[in-house]
Protein backbone atom coordinates (compact mmCIF):
# COMPACT_ATOMS: atom_id res chain seq x y z
CA UNK A 1 0.00 0.00 0.00
CA UNK A 2 1.19 3.53 -0.80
CA UNK A 3 2.22 5.56 2.26
CA UNK A 4 0.07 8.37 3.54
CA UNK A 5 1.18 11.54 5.24
CA UNK A 6 -0.70 13.85 7.55
CA UNK A 7 -1.15 17.54 6.83
CA UNK A 8 -3.19 20.40 8.13
CA UNK A 9 -6.37 21.21 6.22
CA UNK A 10 -7.72 24.65 7.04
CA UNK A 11 -11.23 23.79 5.80
CA UNK A 12 -11.79 21.15 8.46
CA UNK A 13 -9.40 22.57 11.05
CA UNK A 14 -7.86 19.21 11.87
CA UNK A 15 -5.16 16.97 10.58
CA UNK A 16 -6.36 15.14 7.49
CA UNK A 17 -5.03 12.16 5.62
CA UNK A 18 -4.46 12.11 1.90
CA UNK A 19 -2.27 10.49 -0.71
CA UNK A 20 0.53 12.91 -1.31
CA UNK A 21 1.32 14.90 -4.40
CA UNK A 22 4.03 14.24 -6.94
CA UNK A 23 5.99 17.19 -5.63
CA UNK A 24 5.91 15.78 -2.10
CA UNK A 25 6.91 12.35 -3.36
CA UNK A 26 9.99 13.86 -4.98
CA UNK A 27 10.98 15.45 -1.67
CA UNK A 28 10.41 12.25 0.29
CA UNK A 29 12.41 10.31 -2.29
CA UNK A 30 15.32 12.64 -1.67
CA UNK A 31 15.22 11.42 1.94
CA UNK A 32 15.90 7.89 0.79
CA UNK A 33 12.37 6.49 0.43
CA UNK A 34 12.28 6.02 -3.33
CA UNK A 35 12.15 2.26 -3.05
CA UNK A 36 9.20 2.41 -0.68
CA UNK A 37 7.27 4.60 -3.10
CA UNK A 38 8.07 2.54 -6.17
CA UNK A 39 4.90 0.49 -5.74
CA UNK A 40 2.66 3.57 -6.04
CA UNK A 41 2.90 3.71 -9.79
CA UNK A 42 6.29 5.42 -9.93
CA UNK A 43 8.63 4.42 -12.72
CA UNK A 44 11.53 4.08 -10.30
CA UNK A 45 12.28 7.80 -10.38
CA UNK A 46 10.24 10.88 -9.66
CA UNK A 47 9.24 11.25 -13.33
CA UNK A 48 5.85 9.99 -14.47
CA UNK A 49 3.53 10.52 -17.43
CA UNK A 50 -0.20 10.76 -16.81
CA UNK A 51 -2.61 10.10 -19.64
CA UNK A 52 -6.01 11.76 -19.80
CA UNK A 53 -8.73 11.16 -22.37
CA UNK A 54 -11.20 14.06 -22.53
CA UNK A 55 -14.33 15.05 -24.40
CA UNK A 56 -14.42 17.98 -26.80
CA UNK A 57 -16.87 20.73 -25.87
CA UNK A 58 -15.98 22.95 -28.80
CA UNK A 59 -17.71 23.09 -32.18
CA UNK A 60 -14.61 23.79 -34.28
CA UNK A 61 -10.83 23.51 -34.19
CA UNK A 62 -10.70 27.09 -32.91
CA UNK A 63 -12.89 26.28 -29.89
CA UNK A 64 -11.71 22.73 -29.25
CA UNK A 65 -11.23 21.65 -25.64
CA UNK A 66 -7.69 20.76 -26.66
CA UNK A 67 -6.79 24.45 -26.35
CA UNK A 68 -8.11 24.54 -22.79
CA UNK A 69 -6.25 21.39 -21.75
CA UNK A 70 -3.02 22.45 -23.49
CA UNK A 71 -2.94 25.71 -21.53
CA UNK A 72 -3.88 24.04 -18.23
CA UNK A 73 -1.30 21.27 -18.65
CA UNK A 74 1.43 23.77 -19.54
CA UNK A 75 0.66 25.67 -16.35
CA UNK A 76 0.66 22.50 -14.25
CA UNK A 77 3.86 21.09 -15.73
CA UNK A 78 5.67 24.37 -15.15
CA UNK A 79 5.04 23.84 -11.45
CA UNK A 80 5.66 20.07 -11.53
CA UNK A 81 8.66 19.38 -13.80
CA UNK A 82 8.71 15.72 -12.74
CA UNK A 83 5.20 15.07 -14.16
CA UNK A 84 4.06 15.01 -17.77
CA UNK A 85 0.38 15.02 -18.69
CA UNK A 86 -0.69 13.82 -22.13
CA UNK A 87 -4.26 14.71 -23.10
CA UNK A 88 -6.16 13.13 -25.98
CA UNK A 89 -9.37 14.95 -26.91
CA UNK A 90 -12.16 13.24 -28.83
CA UNK A 91 -15.62 14.33 -29.94
CA UNK A 92 -18.61 13.33 -27.85
CA UNK A 93 -19.52 10.92 -30.63
CA UNK A 94 -16.30 8.98 -30.02
CA UNK A 95 -14.89 9.61 -26.55
CA UNK A 96 -16.87 7.06 -24.52
CA UNK A 97 -16.16 4.37 -27.11
CA UNK A 98 -12.45 5.25 -27.19
CA UNK A 99 -12.13 4.87 -23.43
CA UNK A 100 -14.03 1.58 -23.47
CA UNK A 101 -11.73 0.23 -26.17
CA UNK A 102 -8.65 1.24 -24.17
CA UNK A 103 -9.97 -0.37 -20.98
CA UNK A 104 -11.06 -3.54 -22.78
CA UNK A 105 -7.59 -3.82 -24.35
CA UNK A 106 -5.93 -3.55 -20.94
CA UNK A 107 -4.55 -0.07 -21.57
CA UNK A 108 -6.76 2.16 -19.41
CA UNK A 109 -5.80 5.84 -19.27
CA UNK A 110 -4.93 7.31 -15.90
CA UNK A 111 -7.94 9.61 -16.16
CA UNK A 112 -11.00 9.94 -18.36
CA UNK A 113 -13.42 12.84 -18.68
CA UNK A 114 -16.49 11.30 -20.30
CA UNK A 115 -20.23 10.80 -19.93
CA UNK A 116 -20.58 7.90 -17.47
CA UNK A 117 -18.61 6.19 -14.74
CA UNK A 118 -20.83 3.52 -13.14
CA UNK A 119 -19.86 0.57 -15.34
CA UNK A 120 -16.16 1.14 -14.60
CA UNK A 121 -16.86 1.52 -10.89
CA UNK A 122 -18.85 -1.72 -10.86
CA UNK A 123 -15.96 -3.48 -12.60
CA UNK A 124 -13.53 -2.24 -9.90
CA UNK A 125 -11.55 -0.20 -12.43
CA UNK A 126 -11.68 3.16 -10.64
CA UNK A 127 -10.17 4.77 -7.58
CA UNK A 128 -12.66 6.02 -5.00
CA UNK A 129 -12.62 9.80 -5.05
CA UNK A 130 -11.37 9.82 -1.45
CA UNK A 131 -8.18 8.07 -2.63
CA UNK A 132 -7.48 10.87 -5.09
CA UNK A 133 -8.64 14.32 -4.04
CA UNK A 134 -7.77 16.44 -1.04
CA UNK A 135 -10.48 16.94 1.55
CA UNK A 136 -10.61 20.61 0.55
CA UNK A 137 -11.35 19.74 -3.09
CA UNK A 138 -13.91 17.08 -2.16
CA UNK A 139 -15.74 19.47 0.15
CA UNK A 140 -16.00 22.11 -2.58
CA UNK A 141 -18.21 20.09 -4.94
CA UNK A 142 -21.91 20.93 -5.03
CA UNK A 143 -23.58 18.15 -3.10
CA UNK A 144 -26.22 17.08 -5.67
CA UNK A 145 -23.41 16.52 -8.15
CA UNK A 146 -21.02 14.66 -5.86
CA UNK A 147 -23.93 12.56 -4.55
CA UNK A 148 -24.72 11.52 -8.11
CA UNK A 149 -21.13 10.33 -8.49
CA UNK A 150 -21.63 7.51 -6.00
CA UNK A 151 -21.92 3.83 -6.86
CA UNK A 152 -23.01 1.62 -3.97
CA UNK A 153 -22.55 4.52 -1.53
CA UNK A 154 -18.92 5.24 -2.55
CA UNK A 155 -18.08 8.16 -4.83
CA UNK A 156 -16.14 7.23 -7.96
CA UNK A 157 -17.43 9.83 -10.42
CA UNK A 158 -16.04 13.36 -10.09
CA UNK A 159 -18.35 16.06 -11.53
CA UNK A 160 -16.65 17.99 -14.31
CA UNK A 161 -19.18 20.23 -16.07
CA UNK A 162 -22.85 20.78 -15.35
CA UNK A 163 -25.97 22.29 -16.80
CA UNK A 164 -29.60 22.66 -15.85
CA UNK A 165 -32.73 23.39 -17.86
CA UNK A 166 -34.92 26.47 -17.88
CA UNK A 167 -37.81 27.52 -20.08
CA UNK A 168 -36.65 29.75 -22.93
CA UNK A 169 -39.25 31.97 -24.57
CA UNK A 170 -39.10 34.27 -27.59
CA UNK A 171 -39.78 37.79 -26.31
CA UNK A 172 -40.74 39.11 -29.74
CA UNK A 173 -43.31 36.38 -30.36
CA UNK A 174 -44.70 36.72 -26.83
CA UNK A 175 -45.13 40.46 -27.28
CA UNK A 176 -46.99 39.97 -30.57
CA UNK A 177 -49.29 37.46 -28.88
CA UNK A 178 -49.79 39.72 -25.85
CA UNK A 179 -48.77 37.04 -23.35
CA UNK A 180 -46.40 36.66 -20.40
CA UNK A 181 -44.16 33.72 -19.46
CA UNK A 182 -46.09 30.83 -17.89
CA UNK A 183 -45.83 29.71 -14.28
CA UNK A 184 -48.18 26.70 -14.50
CA UNK A 185 -49.02 24.06 -17.08
CA UNK A 186 -52.40 25.64 -17.78
CA UNK A 187 -50.70 28.96 -18.47
CA UNK A 188 -48.16 27.23 -20.71
CA UNK A 189 -50.96 25.63 -22.74
CA UNK A 190 -52.81 28.97 -22.96
CA UNK A 191 -49.63 30.72 -24.11
CA UNK A 192 -49.04 28.02 -26.70
CA UNK A 193 -52.59 28.49 -28.02
CA UNK A 194 -52.06 32.27 -28.30
CA UNK A 195 -48.79 31.71 -30.15
CA UNK A 196 -50.41 29.26 -32.55
CA UNK A 197 -53.17 31.77 -33.25
CA UNK A 198 -50.44 34.22 -34.32
CA UNK A 199 -49.00 31.70 -36.74
CA UNK A 200 -45.97 30.58 -34.71
CA UNK A 201 -44.61 27.38 -36.23
CA UNK A 202 -43.67 25.69 -32.93
CA UNK A 203 -45.69 27.20 -30.07
CA UNK A 204 -43.99 24.78 -27.67
CA UNK A 205 -41.20 22.62 -29.09
CA UNK A 206 -41.35 19.14 -27.53
CA UNK A 207 -38.22 17.19 -28.62
CA UNK A 208 -38.93 13.56 -27.76
CA UNK A 209 -36.86 12.27 -30.67
CA UNK A 210 -34.03 9.76 -30.20
CA UNK A 211 -31.25 12.33 -29.76
CA UNK A 212 -32.03 13.42 -26.20
CA UNK A 213 -35.60 12.42 -25.35
CA UNK A 214 -34.53 11.26 -21.90
CA UNK A 215 -33.79 14.89 -20.95
CA UNK A 216 -37.08 16.43 -22.05
CA UNK A 217 -38.89 13.50 -20.45
CA UNK A 218 -37.19 13.93 -17.10
CA UNK A 219 -37.88 17.66 -16.94
CA UNK A 220 -41.59 17.03 -17.47
CA UNK A 221 -41.63 14.20 -14.93
CA UNK A 222 -40.01 16.47 -12.32
CA UNK A 223 -42.61 19.16 -12.94
CA UNK A 224 -45.58 16.78 -12.72
CA UNK A 225 -46.46 17.32 -9.08
CA UNK A 226 -48.45 14.78 -7.06
CA UNK A 227 -45.32 12.86 -6.21
CA UNK A 228 -43.71 13.05 -9.64
CA UNK A 229 -40.11 12.08 -8.98
CA UNK A 230 -38.41 11.60 -12.31
CA UNK A 231 -37.22 8.14 -13.18
CA UNK A 232 -36.64 6.82 -9.64
CA UNK A 233 -37.87 7.27 -6.11
CA UNK A 234 -35.84 8.50 -3.14
CA UNK A 235 -34.14 5.13 -2.65
CA UNK A 236 -33.22 4.67 -6.31
CA UNK A 237 -35.96 2.27 -7.42
CA UNK A 238 -37.28 2.89 -10.93
CA UNK A 239 -40.80 4.40 -10.84
CA UNK A 240 -41.24 5.27 -14.50
CA UNK A 241 -44.86 4.12 -14.62
CA UNK A 242 -45.96 5.87 -11.43
CA UNK A 243 -49.45 7.37 -11.37
CA UNK A 244 -47.96 10.88 -11.40
CA UNK A 245 -45.75 10.14 -14.40
CA UNK A 246 -48.60 8.60 -16.40
CA UNK A 247 -50.72 11.65 -15.57
CA UNK A 248 -47.94 13.92 -16.85
CA UNK A 249 -47.82 12.21 -20.23
CA UNK A 250 -51.61 12.08 -20.43
CA UNK A 251 -51.55 15.88 -20.09
CA UNK A 252 -48.85 16.30 -22.74
CA UNK A 253 -50.73 14.07 -25.15
CA UNK A 254 -54.13 15.67 -24.60
CA UNK A 255 -53.35 19.33 -23.89
CA UNK A 256 -50.31 20.06 -26.05
CA UNK A 257 -49.75 17.47 -28.77
CA UNK A 258 -53.43 16.62 -29.24
CA UNK A 259 -54.29 20.30 -29.65
CA UNK A 260 -51.59 20.82 -32.26
CA UNK A 261 -49.50 23.12 -30.08
CA UNK A 262 -46.12 21.44 -30.58
CA UNK A 263 -45.44 22.18 -34.24
CA UNK A 264 -45.41 20.37 -37.57
CA UNK A 265 -42.90 17.65 -36.59
CA UNK A 266 -44.17 14.81 -34.39
CA UNK A 267 -42.46 15.04 -30.97
CA UNK A 268 -41.10 11.53 -31.36
CA UNK A 269 -39.27 12.63 -34.50
CA UNK A 270 -38.12 16.05 -33.24
CA UNK A 271 -34.55 16.07 -31.95
CA UNK A 272 -33.13 18.57 -29.49
CA UNK A 273 -30.62 20.02 -31.99
CA UNK A 274 -33.41 20.66 -34.50
CA UNK A 275 -35.58 22.30 -31.85
CA UNK A 276 -32.71 24.54 -30.73
CA UNK A 277 -31.96 25.54 -34.32
CA UNK A 278 -35.63 26.38 -34.89
CA UNK A 279 -35.62 28.55 -31.74
CA UNK A 280 -32.53 30.36 -33.00
CA UNK A 281 -34.36 30.93 -36.29
CA UNK A 282 -37.27 32.58 -34.48
CA UNK A 283 -39.73 29.76 -35.18
CA UNK A 284 -40.28 28.54 -31.60
CA UNK A 285 -42.30 30.26 -28.91
CA UNK A 286 -41.10 28.18 -25.94
CA UNK A 287 -38.88 25.21 -25.18
CA UNK A 288 -36.73 23.73 -22.43
CA UNK A 289 -33.10 24.69 -23.02
CA UNK A 290 -29.67 24.47 -21.47
CA UNK A 291 -26.91 27.12 -21.42
CA UNK A 292 -25.55 26.46 -24.90
CA UNK A 293 -28.78 27.79 -26.38
CA UNK A 294 -27.90 31.27 -25.09
CA UNK A 295 -25.07 31.77 -27.56
CA UNK A 296 -26.87 29.94 -30.35
CA UNK A 297 -29.92 32.21 -30.12
CA UNK A 298 -27.90 35.38 -29.52
CA UNK A 299 -25.86 34.80 -32.68
CA UNK A 300 -29.08 34.88 -34.69
CA UNK A 301 -30.33 38.00 -32.94
CA UNK A 302 -33.25 36.34 -31.17
CA UNK A 303 -34.53 38.28 -28.17
CA UNK A 304 -35.32 35.71 -25.53
CA UNK A 305 -36.07 35.38 -21.85
CA UNK A 306 -35.58 32.53 -19.39
CA UNK A 307 -37.81 31.44 -16.51
CA UNK A 308 -38.02 28.31 -14.34
CA UNK A 309 -39.92 25.41 -15.88
CA UNK A 310 -43.59 25.64 -14.88
CA UNK A 311 -45.11 22.86 -12.80
CA UNK A 312 -48.62 21.49 -12.84
CA UNK A 313 -49.84 24.11 -10.38
CA UNK A 314 -46.74 26.26 -9.85
CA UNK A 315 -42.97 26.22 -10.21
CA UNK A 316 -41.59 22.76 -10.96
CA UNK A 317 -40.36 20.84 -7.91
CA UNK A 318 -36.84 20.70 -9.36
CA UNK A 319 -34.93 21.33 -12.53
CA UNK A 320 -33.20 18.54 -14.35
CA UNK A 321 -29.44 18.69 -13.92
CA UNK A 322 -26.82 17.07 -16.09
CA UNK A 323 -23.16 16.57 -15.35
CA UNK A 324 -20.25 14.99 -17.15
CA UNK A 325 -17.67 13.02 -15.24
CA UNK A 326 -13.98 12.80 -14.48
CA UNK A 327 -12.58 9.53 -13.11
CA UNK A 328 -9.25 8.00 -12.18
CA UNK A 329 -8.38 4.48 -13.31
CA UNK A 330 -6.50 2.14 -10.98
CA UNK A 331 -4.58 0.17 -13.61
CA UNK A 332 -1.40 2.23 -13.67
CA UNK A 333 -1.29 2.87 -9.93
CA UNK A 334 -0.73 6.63 -10.11
CA UNK A 335 -3.19 7.65 -7.41
CA UNK A 336 -0.96 10.31 -5.86
CA UNK A 337 -0.08 12.02 -9.14
CA UNK A 338 -3.64 11.76 -10.44
CA UNK A 339 -4.94 13.32 -7.24
CA UNK A 340 -2.46 16.16 -7.33
CA UNK A 341 -3.25 16.97 -10.95
CA UNK A 342 -7.01 16.84 -10.32
CA UNK A 343 -6.69 19.12 -7.30
CA UNK A 344 -5.13 21.59 -9.76
CA UNK A 345 -7.86 21.00 -12.36
CA UNK A 346 -10.51 21.83 -9.78
CA UNK A 347 -8.89 25.02 -8.51
CA UNK A 348 -11.42 27.84 -8.66
CA UNK A 349 -9.62 29.68 -11.46
CA UNK A 350 -9.50 26.63 -13.71
CA UNK A 351 -13.12 25.66 -13.09
CA UNK A 352 -14.23 29.19 -13.92
CA UNK A 353 -12.05 29.33 -17.05
CA UNK A 354 -13.61 26.15 -18.42
CA UNK A 355 -17.17 27.13 -17.49
CA UNK A 356 -16.86 30.56 -19.06
CA UNK A 357 -15.21 29.24 -22.20
CA UNK A 358 -17.98 26.74 -22.93
CA UNK A 359 -21.02 28.36 -21.32
CA UNK A 360 -21.44 25.62 -18.73
CA UNK A 361 -21.99 25.70 -14.98
CA UNK A 362 -19.21 25.31 -12.40
CA UNK A 363 -19.37 22.11 -10.38
CA UNK A 364 -17.70 23.56 -7.26
CA UNK A 365 -19.19 25.84 -4.65
CA UNK A 366 -16.32 28.31 -4.75
CA UNK A 367 -16.52 28.79 -8.53
CA UNK A 368 -20.31 28.82 -8.50
CA UNK A 369 -20.35 31.53 -5.82
CA UNK A 370 -17.82 33.58 -7.78
CA UNK A 371 -19.92 33.35 -10.93
CA UNK A 372 -23.11 34.19 -9.03
CA UNK A 373 -21.47 37.31 -7.61
CA UNK A 374 -20.06 38.39 -10.95
CA UNK A 375 -21.57 41.27 -12.88
CA UNK A 376 -19.97 40.25 -16.18
CA UNK A 377 -22.54 39.82 -18.94
CA UNK A 378 -21.46 36.27 -19.78
CA UNK A 379 -21.73 35.24 -16.14
CA UNK A 380 -25.05 37.00 -15.59
CA UNK A 381 -26.51 35.09 -18.53
CA UNK A 382 -25.86 31.86 -16.63
CA UNK A 383 -27.39 33.03 -13.35
CA UNK A 384 -30.86 31.52 -14.06
CA UNK A 385 -29.20 28.13 -14.52
CA UNK A 386 -26.97 28.56 -11.48
CA UNK A 387 -30.02 29.25 -9.33
CA UNK A 388 -31.46 25.87 -10.33
CA UNK A 389 -28.30 23.84 -9.80
CA UNK A 390 -28.18 23.38 -5.99
CA UNK A 391 -31.62 21.73 -5.97
CA UNK A 392 -31.45 20.06 -9.37
CA UNK A 393 -31.95 16.34 -9.84
CA UNK A 394 -29.75 14.29 -12.13
CA UNK A 395 -30.29 11.15 -14.12
CA UNK A 396 -29.77 8.00 -12.03
CA UNK A 397 -26.23 7.75 -13.35
CA UNK A 398 -25.06 5.71 -10.36
CA UNK A 399 -27.07 2.76 -11.68
CA UNK A 400 -25.27 0.60 -14.21
CA UNK A 401 -28.69 -0.08 -15.75
CA UNK A 402 -29.22 3.58 -16.65
CA UNK A 403 -27.56 3.40 -20.07
CA UNK A 404 -30.00 0.71 -21.22
CA UNK A 405 -32.97 2.54 -19.71
CA UNK A 406 -31.98 5.85 -21.32
CA UNK A 407 -31.66 4.14 -24.71
CA UNK A 408 -35.14 2.64 -24.32
CA UNK A 409 -36.61 6.04 -23.39
CA UNK A 410 -34.99 7.65 -26.42
CA UNK A 411 -36.46 5.09 -28.77
CA UNK A 412 -39.95 4.73 -27.31
CA UNK A 413 -41.18 7.71 -25.30
CA UNK A 414 -42.36 9.62 -28.37
CA UNK A 415 -44.98 6.93 -28.94
CA UNK A 416 -46.72 7.94 -25.72
CA UNK A 417 -47.98 11.21 -27.21
CA UNK A 418 -48.98 10.04 -30.70
CA UNK A 419 -52.69 10.30 -31.57
CA UNK A 420 -53.23 6.60 -30.96
CA UNK A 421 -50.59 6.26 -28.28
CA UNK A 422 -51.06 5.10 -24.72
CA UNK A 423 -48.95 6.91 -22.09
CA UNK A 424 -49.78 4.20 -19.57
CA UNK A 425 -48.81 1.41 -21.97
CA UNK A 426 -45.53 3.04 -23.03
CA UNK A 427 -44.45 3.90 -19.49
CA UNK A 428 -45.36 0.40 -18.27
CA UNK A 429 -43.18 -1.16 -20.97
CA UNK A 430 -40.32 1.20 -20.07
CA UNK A 431 -40.73 0.26 -16.42
CA UNK A 432 -40.44 -3.43 -17.33
CA UNK A 433 -37.30 -2.68 -19.33
CA UNK A 434 -35.83 -0.74 -16.39
CA UNK A 435 -36.68 -3.42 -13.84
CA UNK A 436 -35.11 -6.13 -16.00
CA UNK A 437 -32.00 -4.05 -16.66
CA UNK A 438 -31.66 -3.28 -12.97
CA UNK A 439 -31.97 -6.95 -12.09
CA UNK A 440 -29.26 -7.91 -14.57
CA UNK A 441 -26.91 -5.22 -13.28
CA UNK A 442 -27.18 -6.43 -9.69
CA UNK A 443 -27.17 -10.17 -10.29
Q: Over range 268-274, report the average pLDDT.
A: 94
Residue 361 above 50 pLDDT? yes
Altogether, the residues listed in the chain come to a count of: 443
Tens digit of each residue's pLDDT (9 = 90 or more) over 420-439: 999 999 999 999 999 999 88
> What pLDDT, on a 0 to 100 scale, did the predictor assign at position 68?
97
Tens digit of each residue's pLDDT (9 = 90 or more) over 66-105: 999 999 999 999 999 999 999 999 998 899 999 999 999 9
> What pLDDT, on a 0 to 100 scale, did the predictor assign at position 226?
59
Q: For residue 236, give every residue at least 6 positions away whose Cβ sits within 8 Å of its Cβ, in sequence order, or none.
A: 396, 398, 399
Decide: pTM greater than 0.75.
Answer: yes
Q: Over range 305-328, report the average pLDDT.
A: 91
Q: For residue 318, give every residue at least 6 positions away whose Cβ sits within 8 Å of its Cβ, in sequence order, or none.
A: 222, 388, 391, 392, 393
Q: Are 405 and 430 in contact (CB under 8 A)?
A: yes
Tens digit of each residue's pLDDT (9 = 90 or more) over 204-250: 999 999 988 999 999 999 998 755 579 998 888 999 999 999 999 99
Domains and CATH numbers, the chain: 48-161+323-378 (3.40.190.10), 166-318+401-442 (3.40.190.10)
Q: Are 68 and 354 in contact (CB under 8 A)?
A: yes
What is the overall mean pLDDT for the chain? Answer: 88
Tens digit of each residue's pLDDT (9 = 90 or more) over 16-73: 334 433 333 333 333 333 333 333 433 344 589 999 999 999 878 888 999 999 999 9
Question: What residue ranges in 193-319 does DSSP mark as E strands?
Answer: 202-204, 284-289, 304-307
Amino acid sequence: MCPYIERSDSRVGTLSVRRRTAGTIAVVSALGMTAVLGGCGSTGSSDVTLRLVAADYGDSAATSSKKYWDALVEDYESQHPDVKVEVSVYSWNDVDRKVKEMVDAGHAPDMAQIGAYADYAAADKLYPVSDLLSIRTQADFLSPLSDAGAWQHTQYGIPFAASTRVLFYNKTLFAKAGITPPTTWDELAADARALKDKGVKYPYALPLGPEEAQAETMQWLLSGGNGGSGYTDDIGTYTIDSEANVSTFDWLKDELVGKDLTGPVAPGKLNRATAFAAFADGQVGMLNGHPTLIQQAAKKGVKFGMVPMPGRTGKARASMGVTDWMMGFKQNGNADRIGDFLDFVYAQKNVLDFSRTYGLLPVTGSASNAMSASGAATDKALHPFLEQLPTSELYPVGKTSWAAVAAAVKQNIGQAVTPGGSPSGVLTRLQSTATAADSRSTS
